[in-house]
Structure 1
């Protein structure tokens, strides 16, 4: 499986209409591409996780616009969307005793490539395990 370590930005947003639009407009106006996104909501605020084409530039931009931003390393995995691929991946990480703290992903159509974002307990070890998995 193809994988790569990338930077993820986590942004806390007030939970009211227009905040996600404001954040994404700031990013778009600087020609930064959002490659993956996850939104978790609660009563007071939303938590946005994004992987972008230019993480350092994006982080500095968002901070300058008054957004609260945290960085983390994640593993971006490209796998074919077929039955059992997620099971193979998670079983391999389990055998290596690596905890998945959270994940999010996207898929366009069955049998095509999908992107899966993983936050794990041991980044380097997880990278080695995932890189060694052969797709069937």
Structure 2
């Protein structure tokens, strides 16, 4: 099903994410799925993608400088149970964030499920921008968050999984 993901950059220092986690906890907002990555990897991916399309928006030196500076930050992606309340928290605390539509699916924790899902996207010519998920004990469901290039088509294919 289509959901709204909150993404933002956070200073890459001890305790910084804990501040946001505490704010969400204080509002009884549950984090259902999370991805945190060094922002320099994000900048490198951007640089590589721009290189493949030959549509770089900055010089090579600018990307190198951005990547060096980005080690100080992490890219955080969150799926929460109360998105509107989490957005209010982010605004109140002056965080700069973005809301992105994603497809969130509960899948059985067994071999091949993710392969089947991603293969189906490929058969329908839907590229995956990124994917992350949770794990569980065998026999239970895991929550996977997918950012497809064509979210409407992906949602139509998978329905309310």
TM-score w.r.t. structure 1 length?
Answer: 0.90
Distance 1:110 1:51, change over 3 A: same
Distance in 2 between the 1:84 and 1:132 partners?
A: 20
- Structure 1: where are the runs of 5+ without partners? none
The residue aligned with 1:45 is: 73
The residue aligned with 1:60 is: 88
Distance in 2 between the 1:131 and 1:63 partners?
A: 32
The residue aligned with 2:156 is: 128
Q: What is the number of equivalent residue pairs in this alignment?
A: 130
The residue aligned with 1:11 is: 8
The residue aligned with 1:113 is: 141
Point out 4+ residue stretches in structure 1 off by more than 6 angstroms: none
Instruction: Judging by fraction of residues, say which structure has more helix.
Output: 2
Over the aligned positions, Cα root-mean-square deviation in angstroms equals: 1.5
- Structure 2: where are the runs of 5+ without partners? 40-70
Shift of residue 44 of structure 1?
A: 1.4
TM-score w.r.t. structure 2 length?
Answer: 0.77
> Greater shift after overlay, 36-45 or 90-99?
36-45
Larger radius of gyration: 2
3-state SS of 1:107 partner: coil
Shift of residue 110 of structure 1?
A: 2.0
The residue aligned with 2:64 is: none
Q: Is it true that 1:98 corresponds to 2:95 in the alignment?
A: no
Does the 8 Å contact 1:81/1:110 carry over to 2? Answer: yes
> Greater shift after overlay, 92-101 or 56-65?
56-65
Distance in 1 between the 2:82 and 2:114 partners?
A: 28
3-state SS of 2:159 partner: helix
Shift of residue 132 of structure 1?
A: 8.9
Distance in 2 between the 1:70 and 1:109 partners?
A: 32
